[in-house]
Amino acid sequence: MTIDQFNFAGKKAFVRVDFNVPLDEKFNITDDTRIRAALPTLKKILSDGGSAIIGSHLGRPKGVTDKFSLKHILNHVSQLLGVEVQFANDCMGEEAAIKAAALQPGEVLLLENLRFYAEEEGKPRGLADDATDEVKAAAKKAVKESQKEFTKKLASYADCYVNDAFGTAHRAHASTALIAKYFDKDHKMFGYLMEKEVKAVDKVMNDIRRPFTAIMGGSKVSSKIEIIENLLSKVDNLIIAGGMTYTFTKAMGGSVGNSICEMDKLDLALDLIKKAKEKGVNLVLATDAKIADAFSNDAHTKFCPVDQIPDGWEGLDIGPETEALFAEVIKHSKTILWNGPTGVFEFENFTHGSRAVGEAIVEATRNGAFSLVGGGDSVACVNKFGLANGVSYVSTGGGALLEAIEGKVLPGIAAISE
C-alpha cells in the first residue's frame, strides 16, 4: 500500500516519525528540519479526514527523563501542523489508550518518548557492569518477552501504520519494524519522507544510470570498508577522498608525514585496489594535497604531491590538481553518491576541496545526473556551502543511509515491503 493510495477518512493512523530534534538548555528546538520533514505525511492523514497518533524517540534516555520528554516540542509541532496537538504523558498506560480511542478525525495525539521504555529498543537496561552472561541472557529474554506486549499495545491504538522515520529504519525496534506485523499489507505503508528516501537509495543501488560515481570521504577507511566493498560491485568510478586517502598512499609506498593513516589497514587498502582492478572499477585517488604543519585552521599550509608529504606536515584537504581530477570524473557521471568530505571541512581553510566536489556534483545534476548526498558530514557540507538545492536528494538518514549502501536490508523498510 502507498500513502497516496490510502484514504485515511475515519481512520486512526499510528505514525512513527523521527522527532529526535536538537534542543538547547531551555528546551528550545535549535533545528526543526526533522519535524518539518514529517509534515506532508501528517497533513495528508488529516486532510483525508483521519487522525494521527504520533510516536517518536528523543535522545537516548535510559528511562523516564524530563530532559528527553517530547512535551518540550509539543507547541512547536502544533504550530507547524496548524492543529492543537494532544499529548499522552506515557506512551503506554490508560491515558494513552483513552486519548487514542477518543481521537476524532482531524485530531492528533503525540505520545511521550517511546524510548522511556526499554521495550522500544528491546535491550535490557540497568544491568550491573559485572553481570554474568547468564544474567545478561535472562534480562535480554525478559525484555524481548515484554516487548511483544509493548508493541501490541502501540498497534492497538490505530487502524493503520505509517512509517516515516528513515533515520531509524536500520533498527528493528518495536515502533519502527515489529509493530508492522499487527497490520496487513493494505494497512501499512511508508510516509512521504520514507518513500523519497527509499526511492533515492533504490536509484543508486538498483536503478543505476551509468556512469555511476561514488565519492567516499571522511576520516577513516576502517569505518567505510563494507560500503566500499559493496560499491565496488556497483560503481564505474570510486573516488577516495578525505583522511582515508593517506592509508592508500602509505600502502602504495608514499610518504604521508603526520597525516591520518591507519597502519593496520594497509593490506586492506591494497586489497581494495586489487578488487577494483578485478571488477573494472576506476579507482580515483588524490594526486596532491593541501598540507598543514599542525591540525589547526591557522597552521601554515602548502600544496604538495600526495605521496611526498614531509615529516611534521599532514594532509588536511585535497589540492587543486586533485580537485580538477575529481571534478572531471563527477561531471561525466549520470549517477552520483557522495558520502564524506574531502578534508577537514570544519576548518575554513580546508573547505576548498569539499566545496569543489559539491559544485561539480551540482553541475552534473544540472546536466541530468541523479545525485544523492548523505550519511553524516557530507550533508553538513552541502548545507554549509548552500548547495543542497542543487543536488537531487539530501538524505535525512545518517546510519540508515550508510547501512542501505552497505547493501543491508533495513528492518524498517522490510517490515513494510514484506
Which residues of the shown chain bind ligand AMP in the complex (CB under 6 A)? 218-220, 223, 242-243, 260, 315-316, 340-341, 343-344, 346, 376-377
Q: Which residue is nearest to ligand AMP (CB)?
A: 218
Nearer to ligand AMP by Cβ, of 167 and 411: the residue is: 167
Closest Cα to residue 168, out of 415, 414, 411, 418? 411
Nearer to ligand AMP by Cβ, of 103 and 286: the residue is: 286
Q: Are 188 and 311 in contact (CB under 8 A)?
A: no
Q: Are 411 and 177 in contact (CB under 8 A)?
A: yes
Q: Are 50 and 86 in contact (CB under 8 A)?
A: no
Nearer to ligand AMP by Cβ, of 147 and 245: the residue is: 245
Nearer to ligand AMP by Cβ, of 89 and 287: the residue is: 287
Nearer to ligand AMP by Cβ, of 351 and 371: the residue is: 351
Tell the smallest beta-carbon distance from residue 330 to ligand AMP (Å). 18
Beta-carbon count within 10 A of 42 CB: 26
Q: Are 216 and 238 in contact (CB under 8 A)?
A: yes
Handedness of CA 14, 103, 50, 87 (dihedral sign): negative
Nearer to ligand AMP by Cβ, of 220 and 334: the residue is: 220
Nearer to ligand AMP by Cβ, of 55 and 242: the residue is: 242
Facing residues of 188 across strands?
161
Type of residue at 277:
K
DSSP letters along 148-165, please?
HHHHHHHHHT-SEEEE--
CA distances in angstroms from 76 to 23, 85, 313, listed in the order given: 12, 10, 48
Catalytic residue, from 376, 384, 397, 412: name it. Answer: 376
Using CA atoms, how far apart are residues 280 and 10, in angstroms rounded to an integer?
Answer: 56
Tell the smallest beta-carbon distance from residue 23 to ligand AMP (Å). 23
Catalytic residue, from 11, 34, 171, 290: name it. Answer: 34
Q: Residue 252 has which C-alpha cell?
A: 602504495
Tell the smallest beta-carbon distance from residue 356 to ligand AMP (Å). 14
Residue 376 annotated in active site: yes
Type of residue at 148:
K
Catalytic residue, from 43, 153, 220, 334: name it. Answer: 220
Residue 253 annotated in active site: no
Does a cis peptide bond (omega within 30 degrees of 0) precede residue 211?
A: yes
Using CA atoms, how far apart are residues 65 and 352, in angstroms rounded to an integer?
Answer: 42
Euclidean distance between the first and the last CA atom of the chain, given in angstroms as a whole number: 11
Q: Which residues of 123-149 are buried (b: 16+ CB within 10 A; e: fewer)?
A: ebeeeeeeeeeeeeeebeeebeeebee
Nearer to ligand AMP by Cβ, of 235 and 240: the residue is: 240
Q: Are 237 and 284 in contact (CB under 8 A)?
A: yes
Question: According to DSSP H, which parts of 161-312 are helical?
Answer: 192-205, 225-232, 245-251, 266-278
Tell the smallest beta-carbon distance from residue 306 to ligand AMP (Å). 11
Tell the smallest beta-carbon distance from residue 296 to ligand AMP (Å). 12
Tell the smallest beta-carbon distance from residue 242 to ligand AMP (Å). 4
Using CA atoms, how far apart are residues 182 and 159, in angstroms rounded to an integer?
Answer: 10
Facing residues of 86 across strands?
109
Residue 34 annotated in active site: yes
Q: Which residues contact 120 (CB under 8 A, 6 or more apart)?
A: 57, 114, 150, 173, 174, 175
The residues that are catalytic are: 34, 220, 376, 399
